[in-house]
Amino acid sequence: MEDFKSICVTEGIKKVDVIKNPTSFPLIGKGAQGAVFKISSDKCVKICAKPEFAAKEGNVLKIAQESPTIPRLYEVGHNYIIMEYLAGPTLFQYLESGGILSEKLMRQILFVLEEMKRLKFTRLDADLRHIIVTKEEELKVIDHYSSFTRIRNKPELIFKGLKKLGLLPMFLEELREMDPESYIEWKNLKK
C-alpha cells in the first residue's frame, strides 16, 4: 500500500508547493497551510507544510466533531490530518454553475453560521470556496486552521463571494424575511 507520508509540501507565497508526490494519490486542493490528497473513496489527507499547522487545525476538528457541518476526523499525525473526503462542488462552484440559492440553501448557510457560533469559533465566517455542497445537498465547512484565532464576527467572506456571483441582493432580500435580526446586523456588509 502506498504511503501518503512520502508526500512533501513546503510553504509557498500564497499556497503551499508540493515538492514531491511519489504516490498515485491525486491532489484535490491546496492552501496556505497544506495540500489535500484523496487517499480512498471516503478519506483524504491534508499534508501540512509545518507540524504546528496540522496540530492547530486537527485540534479544531477534534473539538467540533459532533457538528454536522464539520468533516469527520480520523487521525492527526506529525504533519498531516486524515479526514472525511467530501465529494461535491464548493458553494462558489455550485452557485457559479447555475445552482439555485434556494430557501433550503439559505437556511443551511444560516445553520453553518449558527454552528460556528455554538462551537465558539472566533471566525464566524467562511469563504464560499471552503464550503462543500454534498450530494445530499448539505453544507460542510473545510479549512479550520484559524477558526479559534482569527476574529471575524460577521460573514464578510460569504457576502464577498455572493456579491462576486451577483447573488448578494437576492440573499439580503431573503434574509430580511427569514432572519430579520441577522439582516439588520449584516445589511451594511455589502458596502
Which residue stretches of the chain have pLDDT < 50?
A: none
Beta bridge partner(s), residue 114: none
Mean pLDDT of the chain: 94
Q: What is the share, in percent, of the chain residues with pLDDT greater than 70?
A: 98
| pLDDT of amino acid 66 | 96
Answer whether 189's CB lies under 8 Å from 155's CB.
Answer: yes
| pLDDT of amino acid 1 | 57
Residue with cell 470556496: 129
CA distance 111 to 69: 9
| pLDDT of amino acid 189 | 80
Answer whether 154's CB lies under 8 Å from 124's CB.
Answer: yes
Helix axes 168-178, 103-118, angle to 10 degrees: 70
185 closest CA partner among 110, 129, 88, 120: 110
| pLDDT of amino acid 149 | 92
Hey, what's the cell of 158? 460569504
| pLDDT of amino acid 44 | 97
| pLDDT of amino acid 2 | 77
